[in-house]
Every structure is written in C-alpha cells, then in structure tokens.
Structure 1
Amino acid sequence: MADPARAAKLADRIKVVVAQALERRVKDPRLGFVTVTDARVTNDLQHATVYYTVYGDEDESAETRRALESAKGILRAEVGKNITVRLTPTLEFVPDEIPVNASNLEELLRTAKERDAEVASLAAEQKYAGEPDPYRRKDDEEAAEADGSDRP
C-alpha cells in the first residue's frame, strides 16, 4: 500500500500527462473538445480513473468516449514514460458529471429564489391575525400591577 499523499501526487501527474498527450499525441478525429478535469489513483497505485468533460452535445460526447477508449494504450504508454512508479497504472475514462449536476443545482436555486420572492410579496400584504406584538413585556406587567388588574 502506498501513502495516500503519494497517490494524490501521482493522480495529479497523470492528469497533466494525459491532458498533454491528448493535445499532442492523439490524432483521432472523433476526439472532440475534451478537458481532463480530475484523476484519482487507488492506494496500491495500480488503477487510475481519469475524469473528463466534453464541450458539445451527446453525439460528440459519445464519439469522444469511443476515441478515448481506442487511445487508451497510447495514453497509458505516455503515462508510463512520464511517471516514476514500478508498474504503470491502468487507465479508466469516466465522464465528469459535475457540470451537469451544477447546472441542475443552479436551476433549483433559481426556482427557490423565485418562490421566496412570491412568498415575501404575499407576506408584505398580510396583517397579523391578533395583536401586532403578542409577547408580554416586563414594563406591561408592572403597569398592570399598578392598575390592580390581572391582565397586562
């Protein structure tokens, strides 16, 4: 088992090497505008998961996925040349879902903000059901005691 800090450093290095290799070595026309967003390496340094995003629609994303799978050998060879570990880790490419999830969250927040504005506008027009300030205060109790009444 390797040190988790070493695995994190290796993952960062793999991310850089794969991004550079995609830019310089891989000449597949199916490869779209791809960005390597993250890489994670298991603690035994045997497997690396590379996360990527693709600018474009679903067809371009599918084509890029196929291009990455076919270029996996070239990319692993590049990683093996540029890192200093005894065994070169296997590469697995996973589309990064963070941008999609972030846009969904932004939409939910936008909807919640609109609903909050609706509730605030409705609340501004409403009046209290009872007294505006239903809480007892110490000075009210003293005034009631001075009057001799049992109600403040």
Structure 2
Amino acid sequence: MANERQARMADRIRVLVAERLEKGLRDPRLGFVTITDVRVTGDLQHASVFYTVYGSDEERADTAAALKAATGMIRSDVGKQLGVRLTPSLEFIPDALPETAGHIADLLREAQERDAAVAGLAAGAAYAGDADPYIKPREDDDEA
C-alpha cells in the first residue's frame, strides 16, 4: 500500500514540478531542464527530484543554482496542488543519465570494433593441427 502511494505521489510531484518549470521561474540562469525521475521516501517527507540540463557544464551549474534558489517557491506550488497535509521537502539532483548513456555507447562501439578485428583474424585463420583432429583406427589394426 505504501509503495503505491509513494509511486503515485512521486509521479504527481514530477508532473507538478515539470509544469512549474515549463511556466518559467523568471531566473535567467535556468536552462533547458527535463525532470527525469522523482523518488519519495517511505514516510512521504522527502522527494528527490532528478533532472537533466541540455547544454554546457556552465549552463548545468547555472541551472543547479537557479533550482536551488527556487526550491522553496516550487515546494509551495507543489504543496498547494498536491493536497496532502505535509508537503515533502524537495531536493534537486542532477541526473547522470546522459553521461552514462554516452559512456555505454562508447563501450558498445569499442566492443563492436574489437569484434570486427577478431572476425578479420578468424577469416584468414587455419587450424593449428590436422583438419580432422579425431583419432581414427590405424589401418594396420584392421589387418591384424
């Protein structure tokens, strides 16, 4: 029961925060932000809001500062629309999803290059021993 309630509240908080950011915060430091996930603690008192920012490292840092400055205002907006007795505190955490995806793409590309190199070596390879490595009875044994 508590897990369903956590999931519903997390989903609702994600929607409300995204709508609030879409309306704008009047902060020029805020960049192009996408809310990727929200996780709520079991007692529904704290919500971790994960976000990504499209842009450079400087834009990411500016956006983090803008979100930190606007946390109270966003929390009060969420509390008004959420309709619960206690509004959870919000913590904005930059999501490492794009960096992780880039790293995984690099690893997959490297694995593909290595597979191609191995396939190239295997194309011109020959067996180290006989073509038929199985022991066969000698012809001398058949005559005896």
Unmatched segments (≥5 aa) in structure 2: none
Answering whether residue 138 of structure 2 is matched by residue 127 of structure 1, we say no
SS in 2 for 1:8: helix
What is the CA RMSD across the aligned residues, in angstroms? 1.7
The aligned counterpart of 1:16 is 15
Matches within 5 A, 1:3-152: 3-135=2-134, 144=137, 149=141
* Displacement of 1:148: 6.4
Q: Compute the displacement of 1:18 (Å).
A: 0.3
1:45-78: per-residue Cα shift (whole Å, max 9, x none)? Answer: 0000000000000000000000000000110011
Aligned pair count reads 142
Equivalent position amino acid for 1:19 in 2: A
* Residue type at the aligned position of 1:40: R
Distance 2:114 2:43 in 1: 49
Counterpart secondary structure, 2:141: coil
Cα distance, 1:149 vs. partner?
2.2
- Between the aligned residues of both structures, percent identity stands at 55
Change (3 A) 1:50 1:135: farther
Helix, strand or coil at the partner of 1:122? helix
> Which deviates more, 40-49 or 114-123?
114-123
Normalising by the residue count of structure 2, what TM-score does the alignment of the two structures yield?
A: 0.92
TM-score when normalising by structure 1: 0.87
Partner AA of 1:67 in structure 2? A
Counterpart Cα distance in 1 of 2:81 and 2:130: 76
